[in-house]
A and B are shown apart, each in its own frame.
Chain A
Amino acid sequence: MPTGLDFFRERPRLAFVLLAGLLLLLPFLVGGGLGNAWVRVLDFILLYVLLALGLNIVVGYAGLLDLGYIAFYALGAYLYAWLASPHFGLHLPFWMVLPLGAALAGLFGVLLGAPTLRLRGDYLAIVTLGFGEIIRIFMNNLNAPFNLTNGPQGMNLIDPVSVAGQSFSSPLRIGELVIPSTYLYYYLFLAMTLLVILVAMRLQDSRIGRAWAALREDEVAAAAMGINTRNVKLLAFAMGATFGGLAGGLFAAFQGFISPESFTLWESILVLCMIVLGGMGNIPGVILGAILLTAIPEALRYIGDLQRAVLGHVVVDPADLRMLLFGVALVAMMLFRPAGLLPSRQRKREFGAQDAVAEQEQADLYDARA
């Protein structure tokens, strides 16, 4: 580990103050340096951090491979749109709609979990993938006979978050200071993200967290230890889905517009990649994965401009290049850091097992002699 980190490890209070200050000033630094578009990227980073932390409960903690996770994001977003847009003429406040969206997603988490209790691994992945697609296809087609979702056109004019008469879609003026909309959402998303990080940390260290770990390692043995594997699994699905639904509601309010296109299989896979890249099961790793996989594709947009400046014209379409580099980055990761960028304690040791294997061979010799 670099000594820079050790410096802060010995001074946790200083590190905390610096980090808090950085997080508070970040939109101003980013907005001032790179422009408002990048503050919007920051907002999306936070949304993906929320999603990745939620999926991490299902995949990282409980070991249940879920490829339809984005469906819960969709449910949260659509519920927000139903209850706070001109579509049904309802305009409930965000503090009512967000928890309802999270709860609806949690309920669907249980509905997905219940029939898949006996499935694991590949089979579970296929069923969850199907579930994600079913939700998206429903959203795409439920514009007739009764117009529930407005079909592929999506739902528009969704109410922004508003607090004490201040709508988050218009800038906040405090005297001379003007704080743009994207900044306001940044602070809202940051607060939600911190809350979810806290919950995820507490869950990991709880009795339930330990039960999830046991379930992930060996389901039969977990049941034999007295763990109610059915309830513990359903709880993992429900908790993960709840976080997804919360993120979906925030997304709908932030964008003001949602359509089924935002909730494709690709999005599910992207969130899964964030977890795998960052380090499955480890909260800082998952956050890092979400930051990188959201920010890097944005940064790669500049490659088009770069080509035009250097070569005079665009040789490779940046959109193609982004996917290529994305793929290369993932392959390189799996080769050089298979446990993720910031692996959890367990995975680090599991993958760094050369020493352990040598030790075990030694132990087997010892067994034979003893």
Chain B
Amino acid sequence: MSLLQVQDLRVSYGGIQAVRGIDLEVAQGELVCLIGANGAGKSSTLRGLMGLAHARGKVRFAGESLAGLPTHAIAARGLALVPEGRGIFGRLTVAENLAMGAYIRSDQAGILADAERAYGIFPRLAERRRQLAGTLSGGEQQMLAIARAMMGRPRLLLLDEPSMGLAPLMVAKIYETIATIAAEGVTILLVEQNANLALRVSQRAYVMESGALLLAGSAADLAANPRVREAYLGD
């Protein structure tokens, strides 16, 4: 059985429906990406899953329904979101940001060990642990946002456009770390406009357009699909 099962998810803002009933699944240990153009409803899907936007439909996580739960309760069940634009706490230090990521945990020793592990994965953050997060470069902030989300030991990591606004070399670095985290067994649902990159690291993919799913399949199949190549890979 899949870790995350979504059926007929609809997300709306006021009267505007951004997601018009989509089904998707993420199995334990998988890295699945959701690609599509700007405004296709990818971020809204993640916001709906996290309870940050008004969502209807069936969402089951590890066999439990998430319907109607507030965001903090969803986070407590093991979903972690790295929001679009990173959402770091700018006037707190790097170390304090990581500590906030472990807000729902109380095992001090484990938290400290995980922080050290995060510094191991992101040595740049270790150098800057006492620096205010708002003074980090864009790439470092993205690293921090991912590291902070990992501090909650999530069962499912939701990444929203981790490549947005970063220099190409930084993007490559971020994707390296995403692959590393996935290889450690963390289940990831990745939302990305940069289809090329996302398909390269993912096992499976969904393509979204105008709030609905267009295609679904293995990342390799989709990367070879002429429609995807034409519309999203720039061929």
Taking Cβ atoms with an 8 Å cutoff, the residues of A that contact B are: 207, 210-211, 213-214, 216-218, 220-230, 346-347, 349-350, 353, 356-357, 359-360, 363-364, 366-370
Does B83 contact A227, Cβ atoms closer than 8 Å? no
**A210 with B52, Cβ < 8 A, contacts A223-B71, A225-B75 known:** no
Chain B, interface residues (CB within 8 Å), range = 35 or more
Q: How far is the CB of A340 from chain B (nearest CB, A)?
A: 14
Told that A346-B91, A346-B132, A356-B131 touch, could you supply 6 new A-B pairs with CB distance under 8 A? A213-B92, A220-B52, A346-B92, A349-B135, A363-B137, A368-B169
- A218-B89, A221-B87, A223-B71 known; A367+B104 contact, CB < 8 A: no
- How many residue pairs at the A-B interface have CB separations less than 8 Å? 112
B130-149 to A contact mask, C-beta < 8 Å, 1/0: 01101111111000000011
Asked whether any CB of chain A lies closer than 8 Å to the CB of B167, the reply is yes
Q: A210-B103, A226-B103, A347-B91 are in contact. Are A360 and B135 (CB under 8 A)?
A: yes
Could you tell me the distance in whole angstroms from the C-beta of A336 to the nearest C-beta in chain B?
Answer: 21
Q: Tell me if A's interface is mostly helix, strand, loop or mixed.
A: helix
Q: Would you give the shortest CB distance from A231 to chain B, in whole angstroms?
A: 9
A137, B169: Cα distance in complex, Å: 61
Q: Are B137 and A221 in contact (CB under 8 A)?
A: no
* CB-based contact B136/A360 at 8 Å: yes
CB nearest neighbor in A for B99:
A210
B200 at interface (Cβ–Cβ under 8 A)? no
Given the known interface contacts A214-B89, A346-B92, the answer about A220 and B83 at a Cβ–Cβ threshold of 8 Å is: yes
> A228 contacts which chain B residues (CB < 8 A)?
70, 72
Contact of B104 among A225, A350, A353 (CB under 8 A): A225
CB contact between B135 and one of A218, A221, A226, A359 (< 8 Å): that residue: A359
**Docked complex Cα distance between A29 and B138 (Å):** 56
Q: Is B170 an interface residue (CB 8 A)?
A: yes
**CB neighbours of B135 from chain A (8 A):** 349, 353, 356-357, 359-360
B interface vs A, CB < 8 Å? 50, 52, 70-72, 75-76, 80-81, 83, 87-92, 96, 99-101, 103-104, 131-132, 134-140, 148-149, 152, 166-167, 169-170, 173
| Nearest CB in chain A: distance from B163 CB, A | 13
Q: Which residues of A contact B134 (CB under 8 A)?
A: 350
Chain B: minimal CB distance from A287 (Å): 21
Chain B nearest CB from A213 CB (Å) reads 6
The answer to whether A367 touches B137, judged by C-beta atoms less than 8 angstroms apart, is yes
Residue of B whose beta carbon sits closest to that of A361: B137
B152 touches A223 (CB 8 A): no
Which chain A positions have C-beta within 8 A of B96? 210, 213
Residue of A nearest to B140 (CB): A363
Between A and B, 25 residue pairs with Cβ closer than 8 Å are A207-B103, A211-B103, A213-B96, A213-B100, A214-B100, A216-B91, A221-B89, A222-B89, A222-B100, A223-B52, A225-B103, A225-B148, A226-B104, A227-B72, A346-B132, A349-B132, A350-B91, A350-B134, A363-B136, A363-B137, A364-B139, A366-B137, A367-B138, A367-B166, A367-B170
Q: Is the CB of B90 within 8 A of A217?
A: yes
Specify which chain B residues have a CB less than 8 angstroms from the CB of A363 in the assembled complex.
Answer: 136-137, 140
Give the CA-CA distance A227 to B90 in the complex, in Å: 17
Distance in Å: Cβ of B170 to nearest Cβ of chain A = 5
Within the complex, the shortest CB–CB distance from B119 to chain A, in Å, comes to 17
B152: chain A residues within 8 A (beta carbon): 225-226
Taking a contact as CB atoms closer than 8 A, the residue among A207, A218, A225, A364 that contacts B138 in the complex is A364
Least CB separation from A355: chain B residue: B135
Partner of A224, one of B80, B140, B166: B80
The 5 closest A-B pairs by CB, nearest first: A221-B87, A356-B135, A217-B89, A226-B104, A226-B75
